[in-house]
Amino acid sequence: MSWQDQREMTGAQFEEAILKLGMSRAGAGRFLGLSERQTRRLVRGQKPVPESAALLLASMLAHGETPQVPRWSRWSY
């Protein structure tokens, strides 16, 4: 099964992926353009992980890519 076939991700899978990529929840939020609150909701399963985020994270894991997480800025959202 290819990483492209996995278009859905549970909250636990989302958290596992961001940890494997070396990101914190806050860092993953900045990387994906989400607030910390939105990221927490994804991890807890309160909101579905967007297909685009699931594909991006799966691709990065499959290809050994390292995310370039933007620095925190109060104007980053």
Sketch out the chain's domains with CATH numbers: 3-63 (1.10.260)
Q: 21-57, pLDDT tens digit by residue?
A: 999 999 999 999 999 899 999 999 999 999 999 999 9
Given the structure tokens 């099964």, which residue do they identify? 1
User: What does pTM read for this prediction?
Assistant: 0.84
Task: Give residues with Cβ within 8 angstroms of 53, minimum separation 6.
Answer: 9, 14, 32, 42
Number of separate helices (H) and strands (E) present in the chain: 4, 0
CA distances from 40 to 1, 30, 63, 65 (A): 29, 13, 26, 23
Mean pLDDT over the full length of the chain: 89
What is the Cα–Cα distance from 52 to 56, expressed in whole angstroms? Answer: 6
Does the pLDDT value for residue 73 go beyond 70? Answer: no
The reported pLDDT for the residue numbered 1 is 65
The reported pLDDT for the residue numbered 23 is 95
